[in-house]
Each structure stands twice: as C-alpha cells, then as structure tokens.
C-alpha cells in the first residue's frame, strides 16, 4: 500500500569521536524514505534549495522513492551542524540554518492525495495538520515531534495528536508532553488523547510500544561499530511504517514486528555516517538481522519446581 512521508531534506555537517563529514545528505524525510524503501516506494514531500546536489536526489530516486513532491526553491537548502560526545547519546547543535525550509508549505501532488499510510515528520504541528487536510481518507497516520514543539506549540501539537493513529516520541519527550515522570503513565496519557498506539524510542535501550492495553518492549540490536546516530529515529520510523504499509494491517502481531524491524533498520543506519550504510545495505542483511534479533529475545519457561514455596 502507498506510503507518504512529509519532512525535511537537508545538508548535515557532523562531528563524532570517529570522524567528521561536511554537508552530507540528511533530514527526516531522507532517512525515513531510505529505510522504508526496502518495503515499498515511499512518496516524499519536502523542499530543497537551488544549491541542493542532484546526486542526493538521484540516490533517493535509486531507492525507488517518488520524489515528485520535493520542491526546489530559490535560496539555500536547510542545513544542520552537530557534534556528538564519546557516548553518542546526545547531539549538540552547533548551527541551524533553516533557509528555504523556514517557508515550507507542504503541497501534495494530486498523485499523492490517496496515500493510505502517512508519516508526518518532525515539523510544525500546524503544517502536519495542513498535510492531513490534503490527504483523502488515510488508513493509518503516524507523526513525530520534538521538545521544541512541545514547549512552543503545545496546543497545536495536541490538536495534531488527536488526529493521528500513532505517535513516535522519545522517553524525555513523552514525559514532557504528558507531565508524567513514569514512561508507562506518560504513554497511557497520550493514548487517552486519541492515538491508537505510542512508540517510545529509547535509543541504545530499544523501544516500547503501547497499543491499547498492550505493551511490547524491543531491545536495540547490539551493534559493535556505531559511528553516527543521526537519523536513527527516522530510520526506525521508516522501517516501522514501511513494514506496516507493506503488510496492509495493524494487528498487534504486525505492530510488534514493525517495532523490531524499525530497530533493525536503525541499527544499520548508525554503522556509517549519514545515509551511507543504506547505499550498500541488502534486503538479505535486514532479514538476517531480524532473525538474529528474534534469537536474542528467546528464552525458556521457568522450571515448575524452581521456587521453594508456591
């Protein structure tokens, strides 16, 4: 089934303990579309400047993405520069230049308005709802957000959340959004606002899925070589939504598999800088890592006579 992503396509400059890169392909829509492309052809809506390298668009197109929703505007492309410390858990923003992204007004091509699955990347919640107003009866809508929107546009964000089926959020953000310190209580508060499910991303500690009364925990896949965590969350969402759209179902079993596949795609994303790992990643590698993730999570029942008292 069709999958639409609306978000940023950017040029990132990165510093980590393992090297640095200047103005490489980045942005939420880029990572999402690269990860989701292993399950189908995503439809991408974004904006770039006149300076955006054609080679980056060619790469996304080579992954099967439909780029007819990417507008090229006069001016410079959105740029972000960040640095990571040795533990790689926190990105320190050194510079942000919104450029043409500052005036981004998503306009869906006519061929996109029938999209059945929709991912609203981390953009202004007013724009997220403007996208939903253009889509005709989507089957399943997910959105991402961040602390900036939670602080500056809370009421607008809540209006968006009431219109989506799933919210992707990290543990700090779900606490801030809900006002609850405990992640379980925080997720349940978000569910009470209307979404069918909440995925709490916990970085190197994995992810939690809350869907109605169901809770599912998936560990992050143990990766020995982590070079750049940028885009891991969007790669997770891409794997999750790509599998969901490919399945055409949202049963509890499918949602659980989507969480694991999201974690698997994120684990590949961090192995090289930017989107470089997706340039060589094969479907067989994804299938193999998914199987390994299943093996790592298996364990046996307790012996019936383990405890001294019953």
Tell me if 274 is assigned to some domain. yes
Q: Which residue has the higher pLDDT, 18 or 268?
A: 268
When divided into structural domains, the chain yields a total of 1
Tell me if 91 is assigned to some domain. yes
Tell me if 302 is assigned to some domain. no
Using pLDDT thresholds of 50, 70 and 90, give the confidence band for residue 306.
confident
Number of C-alpha atoms within 13 angstroms, CB side, residue 291?
A: 6
Residue 309 confidence (pLDDT) above 70 = no
Using pLDDT thresholds of 50, 70 and 90, give the confidence band for residue 303.
confident
Tell me if 65 is assigned to some domain. yes
What is the helix (H) or strand (E) element at residue 23, kind and residue range?
Answer: strand 19-26
Q: What is the pLDDT of residue 91?
A: 81
Q: What is the mean pLDDT of residues 281-295?
A: 96
Q: E strands, 27-178, where?
A: 43-49, 66-73, 79-84, 91-97, 117-120, 140-144, 166-170
Residue 310 confidence (pLDDT) above 70 = no
Residue 89 confidence (pLDDT) above 80 = no
What is the rounded average pLDDT for all residues in the chain?
94
What is the helix (H) or strand (E) element at residue 11, kind and residue range?
Answer: strand 10-16
Tell me if 306 is assigned to some domain. no
Tell me if 310 is assigned to some domain. no
Q: State the residue range of the domain holding 102.
A: 3-297
Tell me if 303 is assigned to some domain. no
Q: What is the mean pLDDT of residues 87-110?
A: 91
Q: What is the mean pLDDT of residues 91-119?
A: 95
Q: What is the pLDDT of residue 15?
A: 92
- Tokens 């989701």 correspond to what residue? 36
b or e along 248-268 (b: 16 or more beta carbons within 10 Å of the residue's beta carbon)?
A: eebeeeebbbbbbbbbbbbbb
Using pLDDT thresholds of 50, 70 and 90, give the confidence band for residue 90.
confident
Tell me if 94 is assigned to some domain. yes
Per-residue pLDDT tens over the stretch 184-241? 999 999 999 999 999 999 888 899 999 988 999 998 889 888 899 999 999 999 999 9
Per-residue pLDDT tens over the stretch 254-263? 999 999 999 9
Residue 243 contacts by C-beta under 8 Å, 6 or more apart in sequence? 39, 254, 257, 258, 261, 262
CATH of the domain at 112: 3.40.1190.20
Per-residue pLDDT tens over the stretch 141-200? 999 999 999 999 999 999 999 999 999 999 999 999 999 999 999 999 999 999 999 999
- Cβ distance 196 to 211 under 8 Å? yes
What is the helix (H) or strand (E) element at residue 294, kind and residue range?
Answer: helix 283-297
Q: What is the mean pLDDT of residues 122-146?
A: 96
Q: What percent of the chain has pLDDT over 90?
A: 86
């Amino acid at each position: 089934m069709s999958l639409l992503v609306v978000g940023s396509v950017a040029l990132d400059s990165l510093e980590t303990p393992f090297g640095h890169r200047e103005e490489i392909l980045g942005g939420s829509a880029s990572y999402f579309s690269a990860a989701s492309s292993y399950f189908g052809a995503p439809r991408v809506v974004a904006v770039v400047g006149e300076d955006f390298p054609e080679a980056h668009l060619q790469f996304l197109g080579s992954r099967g993405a439909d780029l007819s929703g990417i507008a090229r505007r006069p001016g410079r492309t959105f740029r972000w520069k960040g640095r990571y410390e040795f533990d790689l858990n926190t990105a320190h923003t050194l510079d942000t230049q919104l450029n043409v992204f500052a005036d981004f007004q998503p306009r869906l091509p006519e061929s996109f308005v029938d999209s059945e699955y929709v991912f609203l990347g981390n953009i202004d919640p007013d724009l997220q709802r403007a996208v939903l107003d253009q889509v005709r009866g989507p089957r399943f809508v997910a959105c991402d957000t961040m602390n900036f929107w939670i602080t500056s546009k809370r009421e607008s964000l809540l209006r968006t959340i009431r219109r989506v089926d799933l919210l992707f959020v990290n543990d700090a953000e779900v606490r801030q959004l809900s006002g609850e310190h405990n992640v379980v209580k925080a997720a349940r508060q978000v569910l009470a606002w209307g979404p069918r499910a909440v995925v709490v991303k916990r970085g190197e500690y994995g992810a939690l899925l809350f869907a109605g009364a169901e809770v599912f925990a998936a560990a992050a896949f143990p990766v020995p070589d982590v070079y750049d965590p940028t885009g891991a969350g969007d790669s997770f969402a891409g794997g999750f939504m790509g599998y969901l759209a490919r399945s055409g179902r949202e049963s509890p079993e499918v949602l659980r598999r989507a969480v694991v596949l999201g974690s698997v795609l994120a684990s590949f994303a961090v192995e090289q800088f930017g989107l470089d790992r997706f340039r060589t990643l094969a479907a067989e590698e994804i299938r193999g890592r998914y199987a390994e993730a299943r093996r790592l999570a298996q364990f046996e029942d307790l012996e019936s006579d383990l405890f001294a008292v019953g």
